[in-house]
Protein backbone atom coordinates (compact mmCIF):
# COMPACT_ATOMS: atom_id res chain seq x y z
CA UNK A 1 0.00 0.00 0.00
CA UNK A 2 2.79 2.40 0.87
CA UNK A 3 4.51 1.69 -2.45
CA UNK A 4 1.27 2.53 -4.27
CA UNK A 5 1.02 5.80 -2.35
CA UNK A 6 4.63 6.64 -3.19
CA UNK A 7 3.95 5.88 -6.86
CA UNK A 8 0.92 8.18 -6.84
CA UNK A 9 3.11 10.93 -5.37
CA UNK A 10 5.89 10.16 -7.90
CA UNK A 11 8.26 9.47 -5.01
CA UNK A 12 11.32 7.32 -5.41
CA UNK A 13 12.34 4.86 -2.67
CA UNK A 14 13.75 6.30 0.52
CA UNK A 15 13.66 9.89 1.69
CA UNK A 16 10.78 9.44 4.11
CA UNK A 17 10.92 8.60 7.79
CA UNK A 18 8.06 6.13 8.10
CA UNK A 19 4.58 5.69 9.43
CA UNK A 20 4.47 5.54 13.21
CA UNK A 21 1.39 6.54 15.20
CA UNK A 22 1.57 10.20 16.18
CA UNK A 23 -1.45 12.25 17.18
CA UNK A 24 0.37 15.50 16.45
CA UNK A 25 1.05 14.35 12.89
CA UNK A 26 -2.13 12.78 11.44
CA UNK A 27 -2.13 10.61 8.29
CA UNK A 28 -3.09 13.49 5.98
CA UNK A 29 0.04 15.38 7.12
CA UNK A 30 2.20 12.31 6.50
CA UNK A 31 0.69 11.80 3.04
CA UNK A 32 1.32 15.49 2.30
CA UNK A 33 4.96 14.97 3.31
CA UNK A 34 5.25 12.05 0.86
CA UNK A 35 3.82 14.19 -1.96
CA UNK A 36 6.23 17.04 -1.17
CA UNK A 37 9.27 14.75 -1.05
CA UNK A 38 8.18 13.10 -4.30
CA UNK A 39 8.08 14.57 -7.76
CA UNK A 40 4.32 15.17 -7.71
CA UNK A 41 3.35 18.41 -9.41
CA UNK A 42 1.46 19.60 -6.32
CA UNK A 43 1.25 18.98 -2.61
CA UNK A 44 -1.40 16.57 -1.31
CA UNK A 45 -4.94 17.93 -1.35
CA UNK A 46 -7.34 15.45 0.27
CA UNK A 47 -10.45 16.20 -1.87
CA UNK A 48 -8.44 15.97 -5.06
CA UNK A 49 -6.02 13.12 -4.28
CA UNK A 50 -7.75 10.76 -1.81
CA UNK A 51 -9.98 9.12 -4.42
CA UNK A 52 -7.05 8.55 -6.73
CA UNK A 53 -4.99 6.99 -3.92
CA UNK A 54 -7.84 4.73 -2.78
CA UNK A 55 -8.75 3.63 -6.32
CA UNK A 56 -5.18 2.40 -6.89
CA UNK A 57 -4.61 0.78 -3.48
CA UNK A 58 -6.41 -1.76 -1.30
CA UNK A 59 -7.49 0.00 1.89
CA UNK A 60 -7.63 -3.36 3.70
CA UNK A 61 -3.82 -3.61 3.48
CA UNK A 62 -3.42 -0.23 5.19
CA UNK A 63 -6.06 -1.13 7.81
CA UNK A 64 -4.19 -4.35 8.61
CA UNK A 65 -0.91 -2.43 9.03
CA UNK A 66 -2.19 0.53 11.07
CA UNK A 67 -4.13 -0.02 14.33
CA UNK A 68 -5.24 3.65 14.42
CA UNK A 69 -6.69 3.42 10.90
CA UNK A 70 -8.36 0.12 11.76
CA UNK A 71 -9.98 1.70 14.82
CA UNK A 72 -11.15 4.67 12.76
CA UNK A 73 -12.59 2.48 9.99
CA UNK A 74 -14.28 0.23 12.57
CA UNK A 75 -15.90 3.26 14.17
CA UNK A 76 -17.34 4.32 10.82
CA UNK A 77 -18.52 0.76 10.09
CA UNK A 78 -20.17 0.38 13.50
CA UNK A 79 -21.97 3.75 13.25
CA UNK A 80 -23.33 2.61 9.90
CA UNK A 81 -24.54 -0.67 11.42
CA UNK A 82 -21.99 -2.87 9.66
CA UNK A 83 -19.79 -5.68 10.92
CA UNK A 84 -16.48 -4.40 12.27
CA UNK A 85 -13.14 -5.73 11.10
CA UNK A 86 -11.76 -8.25 13.66
DSSP labels for 12-69? Answer: PSS--------TTS-HHHHHHHHHHHTT-SS---HHHHHHHHHHHS-HHHHHHH-HHH
Alpha carbons 78 and 68: distance in angstroms, whole number: 15
Predicted TM-score (pTM) above 0.85: no
How many other C-beta atoms lie within 10 A of the C-beta of residue 50? Answer: 13
pLDDT at 6: 58
**30, 6 in Cβ contact below 8 A?**
no
pLDDT (tens place) for every residue of the chain, 86 residues total: 556 665 655 555 554 445 555 556 777 787 888 888 877 777 888 888 888 888 888 888 888 888 888 998 999 999 999 999 99
Could you read off the pLDDT of 55-75 as tens digits, one per residue? 888 888 888 888 888 998 999
Amino acid sequence: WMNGLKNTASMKSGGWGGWEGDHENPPAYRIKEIFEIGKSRDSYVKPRDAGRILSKNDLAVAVAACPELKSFVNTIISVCGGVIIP
